Every structure is written in C-alpha cells, then in structure tokens.
Amino acid sequence: MIFKNIVKVKQMVDYQKTIEEIHESILREENKGEIASYIPELAQVNPEKFGIHLLMANGKSYGTGDSKTKFSIQSISKVLSLTLAYKSEGDSIWKRVGVEPSGNPYNSLVQLEDHKGKPRNPLINAGALVICDILVSKFKDPAKEFLDFVHSICSKDNVGYDMSVAKSEKSVGYRNIALCYYLKSFDNIENDPEEVLDFYFTMCSLEMSCENLSRAFMFLVKDSFKTTNNEQLISPKKADRINAIMQTCGFYDESGEFAFMVGLPGKSGVGGGIVALHPEKYCIAVWSPLLNKKGNSYRGMKALQQFTTKTESTIF
C-alpha cells in the first residue's frame, strides 16, 4: 500500500462576506453594556451604532455597518501619542513610564504610590499623561503637531478633534486631574499640569471612523509603511515594541482576556472603538458604543473574537 502525503490547502477567505456575517449575527443578539455616560457628550451617541472595517496589508479593504461614521476614539489615541513621543525622543521615554501590564482600571491611582510616580505603562491614563507632558515639552503647539502626525499616517484631512467632547470630558475629569497633579508631586510632570491636561483631553477627543483607524494603524502592520510625505515613520524594532505593549496593556485589566480570546495586539477606547492588527497581514477596527464592565466595547470584543476564530488568523 502506498501512502501519499496529503497537503491541506487552506481555502481563501471571503473577507467581505465574513465581516458581514459577523456583523449580522451580532446584531441579532442582545446589545449589552453601558455607554460612557460619565462623559456627558458621549452619552448622546446612538448605542446601536456598529461598524467593522478591515484593511489588508496588500491594500484591499472591506467594510460593513457604520464603518465610515466618525466617533471619539478616546484612549486609542494613546497609541498614536506614544508613537509620536517614541519617534521624537527615543528610548529616553522609558525612564518615565514603564512597559508592564497594570492589572488595574485605566484611571487607577493605586500603583503610582508604590512605583514612586512612574506609571506602569503608557496606555493607562497616568502613563498617557506622562507621554502628553513629553510632547508638551517637545512642541510649542502639541495639539497641532499631534493632529499633523495623525494626518501623515491616515491620509484623511477630515480627521480632527471634537472640542465639545474635550470640554465635556474636562468638565468631569476629576480623576485625570488628580492623576496629573499626583504625577507632578513625584516630579514626573515637567510642565503646568493644566497645560498637560488640556492637551490630553484634546487628544482623546480625536474623531475617526473605523476606516480611518484601520489606515492610521497600518504603520504597525507593514514594515514598509510610508507616511504621506513618503517617509518611514518608525523603525520595525520600535513598531514591534509598540505592538508588544498593545498586546499586554491595550485593554487594561482585560488585556489577558483579549489576548486569550482574540489573539491580536490592539487598543480600545471608551468611545466604543477597538483597533487590532496582525503584523504583515491586516488591521481591523470595530465600533459599538456600549461597553462591558471593563470599559471595552461589548459588541466590538465579540466581533473580533469571531473574526479571528473564523479566519484562523491570530498571531499565536
């Protein structure tokens, strides 16, 4: 009897059909969670909005639902501010902020005392405030420089700040105000805390669609990525390190769950957005405003779990 090696050929995935099926199946289920109503302006968002956009490394893109509707990306912007600071200041930023998961809520003050004012990572609020302080020191107009930076990576001039959201968030941002002044007491904020906070709230008010987000994060997917000025944004080594931080810290105290169930580096925001990526393959962004108990999009988490399961495309 002759035995032949049987090679299992993986079928080509119909990505448009896949994301449409995921979108439709999740819409049929109960939409659980709560909107981020502690920010008054975000409380006005339609909780039934739901979009998915997938951009492949080869340039092909697929969208469904509210994938072209802009929303407040909130903490997703922290990855972009980190990238700008890392690009500008290099490894010196790690003297002021760590790279370890926090295991605590994103706005916790608890660990700052134990770590003498050095935040565990740049994706929790305390860490993002330190990154904002670095950018305030670096640039005369950090909000403009940050927005110019975003435009250079997503080629979308219609991306901008929603200052009504920024003002709304600042009006109730007592925990972030406390964090910033507490960091100042440890000499880990060099500038006027009010100036740092103004930039922080402005940065978090950045409005983008799922389509915008998937394009903006392609620099973490493709080593060959070029900005709109045809420049390399950051080195592959730095991109790998940012991806590693997103993998371990991108979902606060649900980061382990996301790695286990979805298996991609990613970042969430309380506006209901999530961006996740597979290096050298794709970037996918989802948006649905209702949040689970950990502050991550309920439908978004389900959609990404189903996507990597159906396409068998985790990084592991």
Contact between 143 and 92 under an 8 Å Cβ cutoff? The reply is no
The answer to whether 78 is a known catalytic residue is yes
> Which two three-digit tokens encode residue 57?
């490394």
Please tell me which residue in 75, 77, 81, 209 is annotated as part of the active site: 75
Please tell me which residue in 161, 252, 282, 298 is annotated as part of the active site: 252
Beta bridge partners of 314: none
The answer to whether 182 is a known catalytic residue is no
Please tell me which residue in 70, 78, 222, 267 is annotated as part of the active site: 78
DSSP string, 111-135: HHHHTTT--S-TTSHHHHHHHHHHH
The answer to whether 270 is a known catalytic residue is yes
Please tell me which residue in 200, 209, 286, 288 is annotated as part of the active site: 200
The answer to whether 200 is a known catalytic residue is yes
Please tell me which residue in 45, 150, 270, 286 is annotated as part of the active site: 270
DSSP string, 152-219: HHH--TT-EE-HHHHHHHHHT-HHHHHHHHHHHHTT---S-HHHHHHHHHHHHTEEE-HHHHHHHGGG
Contact between 192 and 34 under an 8 Å Cβ cutoff? The reply is no
How, if at all, do strands 206-208 and 273-278 pair? unpaired
The answer to whether 235 is a known catalytic residue is no
Which residues are part of the catalytic machinery? 75, 78, 200, 252, 270
